[in-house]
A and B are shown apart, each in its own frame.
Chain A
Amino acid sequence: MTGMLEVLATGPLSTVQDLGRPGYAHWGVTRSGAADRAAARLANRLVGNPEGAACLEVTFGGLRLRADADLVVALVGAPCPARVGTRPVPSNAPVDLPDGQELQLEPPDRGLRTYVAVRGGLDVPAVLGSRATDLLGQLGPEVLVDGDTLAVGNLHADYPPVEQAAVRGPSGGEVQLRIRWGPRHDRFTGEARSRLLADGWAAGQDSNRIGVRLRGPELPRSSEDELPSEGLVRGAIQVPPSGPPTLFLADHPVTGGYPVIATVLDDDVDLAAQVRPGQRVRFRDVGAPSDRERGSPTGCPVT
């Protein structure tokens, strides 16, 4: 151990995350991990950590930490106005957090989740190879509460040759998410598919790490045949018979019995993880898998 962080305030929800525990779905254990993986990876890289080091996922800011050693941190994701002591500090850059000083994050005005990486990684007990908090499966560290202390480890290498990463960060307006149809799009009418691609979708207030509840038009089915439960993936848009569809995020259930009309591309689930309740969402169809395999991830014709 090379230091400690004292959690003075957690904000609405802060959890320890890393890149999760893939490969245990056959035991009913979902991968979990950072909801916005790209942001967590970048935060770790900026402090010279391996990308999978444990960090904090902070929802709607509000976190206050005190260092009991000279530490280095980086904030990536939803841009929280932040200070060390009285000094404002930037996002997307390594930041010194000296012994005895406090880091304070205000709520972000766009995006939802901010990743706070500390050089060395957070040294908390791992479960099935990961330090991620799985809120659905109730595995991994408990949700942070005021007064918690977090040990800092010593996993680190050289700093990257970058002082400030050029990152656009989460959008404050409509968020576009690329989808592929299926696997159960054939259980929905053409009208349902048109509605999914149209205006009128927004994130519900009751969204969480399990998924984004989608408020929008009804999606009529063409088949009422019972669907046996089947595996679910991160990014799946599952449509129950009544109530809002869910766009699954990191803590999604391993299996489910309602049809999945479409699936958000894996990279775009990072964008979905930054959608605030009430924010508008637009789904964009990118065509068949073969387009991507020909090196055309946007689905545009290959010339």
Chain B
Amino acid sequence: MRCLPYGDTAVLAEVDDLTAVLDLYAQLRDDPPAGLVALVPASRTLLVQFDPAVTSASAVDAHLEAAAATAAPTAPAAEVTLPVVYDGEDLDEVAALTGLDREAVIAAHTGQWWTVGFVGFAPGFAYLVGEDDRLRVPRRPEPRPAVPAGAVGLADAFSGVYPRRSPGGWQLIGRTEVATWDLGRDPPALLPPGTRVRFEAVG
């Protein structure tokens, strides 16, 4: 693990893989350093934002080093199943790009566990990492100006569900009625980091 200073109010911990990120994230969430403001997990890094009135970068580094050395087992991750109607506009394009037919694309999407690596781009937009690279496809060359809420897509190493209508460049393979972001729900985010997700074909 490398701990990189990030301005005067954050440290960026760089680790080997997403599993290491999620372990570190869970540990710091359960046993936070004094003065912790926020944690931002991502594919290979954990950003730790702190209050400089309470603590320092070196204290946060020390806390991170201790957590990384511990690798304590954490509580089992939450599991969520998302029902999806697989009628996305780009399903045939994804089939062509992956060399699978439509049915095989759907089978590959529903046949593996996806893990929430991090949430970014928009509130509730979870970047899901699969078990293998069968469905790895590039983004669309041009983003669409309006992707509907609930659209299920693929881009690079990730799958994702658009939490609300927005521009988007992901390859759309289906749609779900489940709201992944809902301010009227507690918690509003259905898919926080570490959650395991399974897609299920319906309709």
Residues on A lying within 8 angstroms of B by beta carbon are 22-29, 31, 127-128, 137-139, 180, 182-183, 228-233, 235-236, 253-256, 260, 263-266, 288-290, 292-293
Contact = CB atoms under 8 A, between A and B. Distances in A.
B49 A25 contact: yes
A233 to B, nearest CB: 5
B121 A253 contact: yes
A236 B47 CA distance: 13
Nearest to B3: A183
B188 A289 contact: no
B4 A182 contact: yes
B124 interface: yes
Interface string B25-62: 10000000000011111111111010010001110000
A236 B8 CA distance: 11
A230 B41 CA distance: 8
B44 A180 contact: no
B170 interface: no
Interface in B164-180: 164
Contacts of B9: 233, 266
* List of 3 A-B pairs having minimum Cβ-Cβ separation, nearest first: A231-B47, A231-B40, A255-B120
Contacts, number: 125
Contact of B45 (A139, A231, A235, A288): A231
A289 B8 contact: yes
Interface residues of B, number: 42
7 contacts: A27-B123, A28-B123, A229-B118, A230-B40, A230-B45, A236-B7, A289-B57
Contacts of A256: 120
Contacts of B44: 228, 230
B52 A254 contact: no
Contacts of A232: 40, 47
B119 A26 contact: yes
B58 A289 contact: yes
B7 A263 contact: yes
Given A23-B37, A183-B12, A137 B122 contact: yes
A230 B5 CA distance: 14
Given A229-B42, A293-B56, 13 more contacts: A22-B49, A23-B37, A25-B49, A27-B119, A27-B124, A28-B124, A182-B6, A228-B45, A230-B44, A253-B120, A254-B121, A263-B7, A265-B7
B183 A231 contact: no
Given A230-B44, A293-B58, A266 B12 contact: no
B125 A266 contact: no
Which of B12, B57, B123: most chain A Cβ within 10 A?
B123
Nearest to B4: A183
Nearest to A184: B4
B193 interface: yes
Nearest to B120: A255
B36 to A, nearest CB: 9
Which of A230, A253, A290: most chain B Cβ within 10 A?
A230
A264 B42 CA distance: 22
A235 B42 CA distance: 19
B10 interface: yes
B189 interface: yes
Nearest to A233: B10
A180 B5 contact: yes
Contacts of A31: 38
A292 B38 CA distance: 22
Given A27-B192, A254-B119, A289-B5, A230 B42 contact: yes
A87 B10 CA distance: 46
